[in-house]
Structure 1
Amino acid sequence: MINLLKRLKKEFLKKKLKDNEFLFLFDDPPEDEYVVFDTETTGLNPKTDDILSIGAVKIKQNRILLNDRFYTVVKPEREINEETIKIHGLRKKDLENGIPIEKAIKDFLRFIGSRPLVGYYIDFDVAMINKYTKKIIGIPLPNKKIEVSGMYYDYKIGTIPQGFVDLRFDSILKGLKIPSFGKHDALNDAIMTGLIFLKLKSKN
């Protein structure tokens, strides 16, 4: 029944697709391949905030393909305040040299293809991407989503008597003995999330 509903939803979205160039989003995903991604944004509300950068890497056969990565900075369509700049670390100069959001989204879609998407609190990042894909190609992302904080919770909960699992990003890195790259930008966070995913995937 669940598979039938998924197929029906997929067919419904395919009919709503406005640009046939992106029909590849509905292809069967390549075997044992994933895309890990992260976004930097002006805030935490997908309805009112905007994407400033997108970082992503591909995983194939349990290896992060650092030579096959995606990173782009988006030129904002409105003025960005100084406090926001302090959070994401992108300078005004970086943003002024960014690319238009429509090109960024289309390039990102070509990069991910039909692969499952992996992320840390991925629902937020997907919601930010969907804000634009709905306007540009008429549909939200049809890709499967995998949440690493949920994987980590399932892995840890049986070992903690009091039933509390610290799901902060740096705490997960520490708990899995994965080194932090220090600088938090979209690409570095995507790579570290990929390491989290592979470590947890190996424990299943």
Structure 2
Amino acid sequence: MFKNIIRKFQISRLKDKNFLYLFDEAPKNEYICLDCETTGLNPRKDEIISIGAVMIKDNKVIMRKNFNIFLKPSSKVNAESIKIHQIRPIDLQNATEPKVAIYKLLEFIGSRPIIGYYIKFDIAIISKYTKQYIGIKLPNESIEVSSMYYKTKKRSSEYEFVDLKFDTIMKNLDIPELGKHDALNDAIMTAMIFLKLKDKTPAKTTFYTN
């Protein structure tokens, strides 16, 4: 009931009814795995400079169904963030205007659930843009792979530490490493984590609404 109230409220705030498809019933057994490279870790003030996403359908990563785009920042990318994501100003010379990029992303995602590693950050920073452009936060359900992984670990007590670093999860699940801090590669690796864990954790415990 509460979920329906939020849905109706979001629809009422939608500026452009062309985006009503975001509230459609999600296609069965389809997900979008997503990752953003950003200028910093504060969704309120930092910007997205790259988005990578890939579709999962019927327990397979559909490589031909991928999304990879650079966004034009409003100001010069600082040197500290370049050390992390390796995206230089020259790489952004032909980047897409943020509004165009976000519209393309929404079309790619549709109403599918979104998977990610610490996905709440990605959802929050994308929602900064969607609130500006279409009036609402990204309404899709989201799935956090680190929470899925946590639920698979047997612990002697509820206080036992579980290492949830991305590299640790990858290593323990025996997943091959692609180039890191590349949005599309990170999305693909996260998709592989999800598929490894999908049947080990109850789906209903890994979904979150925003």
| Shorter-chain TM-score tier | over 0.9
Structure 1 partner of 2:147: 150
Give the Å deviation of 1:80.
1.3
Structure 1 partner of 2:89: 92
Aligned in 2, Cα 1:101/1:159: closer, same or farther, shift over 3 Å? same
Distance 1:182 1:130 in 2: 27
Structure 2 partner of 1:12: 9
User: Is 2:53 aligned against 1:69?
Assistant: no
Aligned residue among 29, 34, 38 for 1:37: 34
Q: Which runs of 4+ in 1 moved over 3 A?
A: 159-162
8 Å contact from structure 2 (residues 11, 20) kept in 1: yes
Deviations 1:143-176 (A, max 9, x none): 00100000000011x2566721110001000011
8 Å contact from structure 2 (residues 115, 145) kept in 1: yes
User: Is 2:75 aligned against 1:78?
Assistant: yes
**Matched position secondary structure for 1:182:** coil
Distance 1:123 1:81 in 2: 24
Give the Å deviation of 1:108.
0.3
Give the Å deviation of 1:202.
2.6
User: Is 2:19 aligned against 1:22?
Assistant: yes
Q: CA RMSD in A?
A: 1.1
Q: Name whichever structure is richer in helix by fraction.
A: 1
Distance 1:140 1:71 in 2: 21
Distance 1:125 1:118 in 2: 10
User: Is 2:57 aligned against 1:60?
Assistant: yes
Give the Å deviation of 1:92.
1.1
User: Is 2:171 aligned against 1:174?
Assistant: yes
Q: How many equivalent pairs are there? A: 200
8 Å contact from structure 2 (residues 37, 181) kept in 1: no
Q: Which runs of 5+ in 2 are unaligned?
A: 202-210
**Matched residues, percent identical?**
55
Structure 2 partner of 1:112: 109
User: Is 2:50 aligned against 1:49?
Assistant: no
Distance 1:69 1:79 in 2: 28
Amino acid at match of 2:168: S
Q: Which runs of 5+ in 1 are unaligned?
A: none
Structure 1 partner of 2:207: none
Structure 2 partner of 1:200: 197
